[in-house]
Amino acid sequence: MLVRDAMSTVVLIIGPHHTLRQAAALMSARRVGAAVVHDPDAGGIGILTERDILNSVGLGQNPDTERTQDHTTTDVVFAAPGWTLEEAARSMTHGGFRHLVVLDSGDVTGVVSVRDIIRCWAPDRQQVPV
């Protein structure tokens, strides 16, 4: 199975000047664990994850004043739609992260998460009679 088969194609893209609270609200509304941060002035594409927001709040920082640009990972590892899920999982394990931005011809086409991969690898849940 390939990344294109597992990835989410509805990608939340936000700007570098969103507050962490705004980013969290958008991520919650979309039910996603990461947002792609597009910042053409700082070199392009980054990623902001739930963990980035959690770390900031855990440090006592104010989510109403902290900006995504200060918490975004900019040394992003990108996946290609044609990667196998094994390649994606290996990259995540090696890098210690749970999301990969998927690029096709330089354009963001999706995000694949550990949850997406597990969903593909795990057998369908069966209803257990009560």
pLDDT at 11 > cutoff 90: yes
pLDDT at 44 > cutoff 90: no
| Rounded CA separation 130/115 (Å) | 28
Question: For residue range 54-104, what is the model confidence (pLDDT) as tens digits?
Answer: 999 999 999 999 999 999 988 889 999 999 999 999 999 999 999 999 999
- Domains of the chain (ranges; CATH) run 3-121 (3.10.580.10)
- Determine the 3-state secondary structure of 18 from DSSP: coil
Q: What is the pTM of this model?
A: 0.86
Which tokens belong to 47? 């990623």
| Whole-number Cα distances in Å, 84 to 53, 95, 113 | 30, 17, 13
